[in-house]
Structure formats: C-alpha cells, structure tokens
C-alpha cells in the first residue's frame, strides 16, 4: 500500500517502485515523491532508499505513448558512468498525470534556463574583448570530452542540438538523455557510418552553441573559425575531438601565447610555414603593426626589432617576443585589451 505523506512543499504522496515493472537498476531504491514544480520538462522531488536515506532529484517528463523512449534513454544514459553525464536512477509510469518520468540526480537548471542568469562569468565574452570567457571555454572543452567518452561506450546521443539535453550542476554543464547505441544500427561494422554518427553528435553541439549561446548574429571571427573546423574531415575521430578541444578559440590568452610559441618551436620547415602564414587564408591579419593602437608594453617590444607589418610570419615572431618579454599575467592583460 502506498504511504501518504503531506508536505508543506506541495508534495502529495510517496509512490512505491516496482522492480518487476519499472526500469530500475539500483535495488536499494524503494519510493519516490513529486512536487508541483512548474516546468515544461521536469518535476522536482525526492527518492528514498531501503536504509532510510533520501535524496533530492529531478524527474523528466515523457508522454504516455513514449514509454519505449523513456526506458531506452534511461538504459543508454545509465551505461555512461562519467562525471559530466548526469546519473539516471529509474524510469516509471506516473499514473496521476498519465506520464512516464525519468529520475535524474538533482540539477540546478536546464541550460536553456540559464539565459536568465545574470552571472557575468557565463557571458560568452566581455563587452570589450573578442576572447571567449574562461567559463565557456572550459565548459565547451569538457562537453567535447564527454561526447568522446559517450562514443567510447558505443553510444550516440542524437539530440545535442536541443538545450533541454544539457543541465547545469554546481556551475558545470552536464549531458542527459542519451538516446541511441551501436546496436540500433544494422550495419554496425561500417566504420564510415559510425564515424558519421559520431561527427553528427559533435556538429549537433556546434549547432546548439551557434544558434543559442555564442552570440548568434554578432560578428566574431575566432568563433566562426571554430565552427568551421567542425566540418574538417581529414582527421581520425579521436584526433579530431582532441583538436576541437584544443582549438585556439577555447584557449585562455596565456594558452594562446603558448600556442604561438609552440608553432615556431615545432616548425621543421620554416619556409613552408612562412608560405602558409602569408597565404590568402590569413590575409586579414596583414597590416597588423598599427603602432599608435598598441599598448605601451607592446610598443617597447616592437621598437626592439624590425617587423614587417604586411607579413603574418613577423606577427608570429612579434607575439613570441611579447611572450618572452612580459610575465604571463601582463601578457594576458595586454592580449585582452
């Protein structure tokens, strides 16, 4: 018999879980409660364990006709035990509202709901800089690594273009609602097909960022180069994800300076690198030596050597010299200015 338990928070009753009918992995779970949280996508509530412990959770809503989908998402998500994939506890039918519900660990809000958050660190960039904010750079890198982890378990998400499939927990973005696996496809030995499905997940993340997060409609060269890189097909999948996660757009100013330094250090064919840097693709970076626009520190470095402002190779050398001359924190400040 179900136990009734009134609550000042609008919780009306506890419901017993049935291991024979419900999709549930942890046998220690016994009951759950829901409250009347006003969200299109989820309820809030609690779950209860055999030892008397309880836990605050969220319950995602699915239509009565979506039983198969709710259970499938639960089982697929449960397979990916990873810090940036939110833990799923069970899926069950909630008869009072004729819904299937999928129970997740507590999250603070959906990524979509973060649009109302005025926390400055969550802005894509500061008003006076084209540098991506540290918070977003870090979160995008972690999302890319999380998707790679999901794929390593022979899973595909198939819904990363939707903001309701991302949640924020303690200032970290996590992924929910993994929908598919290799077993869902007939030709699972087709490596080209598998790569396409993986890349589709990555591009879905790109499209969500492009359309919803990273200042759509605002000119931003570095961001646009990052988005275009998702269409690069010449790399093997693991290398491709690593290159996305280390893309200059996601780097801090200090990391960018180190990147310039490493390009020069690792170059084995200086003439070939010069040819690339001075090619048409980087034409926009010519005429870079606008001395009157430089900060005092940059001017000091600039006057110590001769640089050709029409040569991108010389721009790289200048940045290297800046990196060597200034302490990291000063270089960061100058690059951000």
Write the pLDDT tens digit of every residue in 9-36.
Answer: 444 578 999 888 888 988 899 999 998 7
Per residue in 34-54, pLDDT (tens digit) is 987 778 999 999 999 999 999
pLDDT for res 326: 66
Residues facing 168 on adjacent strands: 109, 173
Q: What is the Cα–Cα distance from 292 to 273, expressed in whole angstroms?
A: 29
Per residue in 116-169, pLDDT (tens digit) is 555 555 678 766 667 899 999 999 999 999 999 999 999 999 999 999 999 999
Do the domain assignments include residue 151?
yes
Do the domain assignments include residue 137?
yes
Q: What is the CATH number of the domain that holds 121?
A: 1.10.510
The reply to whether 124 and 98 lie within a common domain is no
Helical spans, DSSP H, in 44-125:
67-79
Do the domain assignments include residue 7?
no
Which tokens go with 194?
A: 């598998």
Mean pLDDT over the full length of the chain = 86
Exposure pattern of 22-58 as b/e (b: 16+ CB <10 Å)? bbbeeeebebbbbeeeeeeebbbbbbbeeeeeeeebb
Domain endpoint, select from 105, 123, 158:
105
Do the domain assignments include residue 5?
no
The reply to whether 122 and 236 lie within a common domain is yes
Per residue in 160-218, pLDDT (tens digit) is 999 999 999 999 999 999 999 988 877 666 778 888 999 999 999 999 999 999 999 88
Q: 42: domain range?
A: 14-105
The reply to whether 235 and 126 lie within a common domain is yes
Distances (CA, A) of 209 to 76, 181, 230: 24, 24, 12
Q: What is the Cα–Cα distance from 289 to 286, expressed in whole angstroms?
A: 8
Distance of CA 300 to the CA centre of its chain: 40
Please tell me the total count of domains within the chain: 3
Do the domain assignments include residue 6?
no
Answer whether 31's CB lies under 8 Å from 14's CB: yes
Residue of higher predicted confidence among 335 and 77: 77
């Amino acid at each position: 018999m179900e136990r009734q338990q009134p609550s000042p928070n609008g919780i009306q009753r506890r419901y017993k879980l049935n291991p024979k009918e419900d999709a549930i992995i942890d046998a220690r779970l016994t009951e759950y409660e829901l409250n009347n949280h006003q969200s299109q996508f989820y309820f809030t509530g609690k779950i209860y364990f055999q030892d008397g412990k309880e836990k605050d959770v969220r319950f995602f809503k699915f239509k009565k006709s979506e039983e198969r989908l709710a259970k499938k998402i639960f089982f697929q998500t449960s397979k990916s035990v990873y810090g940036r994939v939110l833990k799923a506890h069970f899926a069950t039918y909630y008869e009072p509202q004729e819904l299937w519900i999928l129970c997740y660990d507590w999250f603070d809000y959906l990524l979509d709901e973060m649009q109302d958050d005025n926390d400055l660190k969550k802005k894509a960039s500061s008003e006076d800089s084209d540098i991506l904010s540290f918070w977003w750079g870090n979160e995008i890198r972690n999302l890319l690594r999380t998707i790679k982890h999901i794929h390593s378990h022979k899973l595909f998400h198939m819904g990363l273009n939707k903001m309701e499939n991302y949640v924020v927990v303690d200032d970290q973005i996590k992924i929910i609602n993994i929908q598919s696996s290799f077993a869902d496809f007939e030709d699972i030995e087709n490596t080209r097909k598998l790569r396409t499905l993986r890349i589709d997940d990555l591009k879905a993340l790109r499209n969500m960022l492009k359309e919803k997060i990273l200042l759509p409609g605002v000119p931003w060269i570095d961001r646009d180069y990052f988005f275009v890189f998702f269409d690069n097909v010449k790399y093997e999948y693991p290398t491709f994800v690593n290159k996305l996660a280390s893309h200059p757009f996601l780097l801090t100013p200090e990391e960018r300076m180190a990147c310039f330094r490493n390009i020069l250090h690792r170059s084995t064919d200086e003439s070939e690198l010069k040819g690339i840097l001075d090619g048409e693709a980087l034409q926009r970076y010519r005429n870079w030596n606008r001395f009157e626009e430089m900060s005092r520190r940059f001017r000091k470095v600039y006057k110590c050597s001769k640089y050709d402002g029409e040569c991108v190779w010389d721009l790289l050398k200048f940045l290297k010299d800046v990196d060597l001359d200034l302490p990291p924190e000063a270089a960061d400040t100058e690059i951000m200015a």
